[in-house]
Amino acid sequence: MGASVAHLEKILDRFRVTDGRKLRLADIDPTDTAGLDLAKDEAETILARDVKRLAELQALLYAQDRWSLLCVFQAMDAGGKDGTIKHVMSGVNPQGVQVSSFKEPGQEELAHGFLWRVTRKLPPRGQIGIFNRSHYEEVLVVRMHPELLAAQRLPQATRGERFWQRRFEDIAAFEAYLARQGMVMLKFFLHISRSEQKRRLLARLDDPHKNWKYHPTDLAERRHWDGYMAAYEQAIAATAAPHAPWFIVPADHKWFAHLLVVAAMIESLEGLNLDYPKLTEAQRDLIAKAREQLATDPG
């Protein structure tokens, strides 16, 4: 098992995209497990160990209060975003994490620029932010549905042939700004196959306990599969950068997706060389006095 864990930590670069100019999603197998062949209990044991390490790093992040971590999750319907977030964050202190889900924007959100609503949900220093869908919806679902763009009431002068390219540029500039403010950003595209999506959607229909997950738009969006793959490919290629990498996470096997995501988070936090704040001489004196007072306290 130790060899398997070491192998997982070494293969992150295989799925990391920092320059997407040659990216082709069709070349990435959603069933890939990087040579790992783990039983369910083995995968769960490794995940529990890594979640424990993530919790330790989160405590350091919170105490140091200098950096923040933002994890963006994107996927097709039934891609496993909710389950991945649930499993990866299962052992982390909820006081240091905020999860934001972005659905269809309301009137107040439509009255502002497309980055406004995500800006309001960015994690403060010392915390981990999770975006379940994100600003990338604006170059994905909005691109597939022109009526959603029309609802934004943009001046005609802002439209044109380079409209989507300019949105990519805005996103890239926004993410570069965040990096300069001490925010580490990891972007995960949970990459499932069309056949696996079909299997998961059928499971929602066949299992009464999963019926609530089904929405009529699931099938409607499935008809846009090829368009979405092209849109994802272009968005990732235009916004992948060393300071804001994408991870193309093969997600047909949920256990592998969970392990890969937590490994990427651990790697990033360990790279910050986090530590508990160093106390000044005056602070140490105060602690010594407090200890002395408590030692003599009759309670």
**96-122 pLDDT tens trace:** 999 999 999 999 999 999 999 999 999
List of domains in the chain? 2-296 (3.40.50.300)
pLDDT digits (tens, 9 = 90+) for 218-228: 888 999 999 99
pLDDT digits (tens, 9 = 90+) for 257-281: 999 999 999 999 999 999 998 889 9
Q: Give the Cα separation of 170 and 152 in Å (integer).
A: 17
Taking the C-alpha atoms of 28, 191, 240 and 225 in order, what is their torsion angle to the nearest 10 degrees?
100
Q: Give the Cα separation of 83 and 2 in Å (integer).
A: 25
Residue 173's CB is within 10 A of a number of other CB atoms, namely 12
Cβ proximity of 261 and 88 under 8 Å: yes
Q: Give the Cα separation of 180 and 263 in Å (integer).
A: 24
Using only C-alpha atoms, what is the Rg of the chain? 22
To the nearest 10 degrees (0 to 180), the angle between helices 2-10 and 254-270 is 70
Predicted TM-score (pTM) of the model is 0.93
Q: What is the mean pLDDT of residues 130-136?
A: 98
CA 275 to each of CA 118, 176, 270, 284: distance values in angstroms, whole numbers, following the listed order? 29, 25, 10, 17
SS (H, E, C) 116-164: HHHHCCCCCCCCEEEEECCHHHHHCHHHHCHHHHHCCCCCHHHCCCCHH
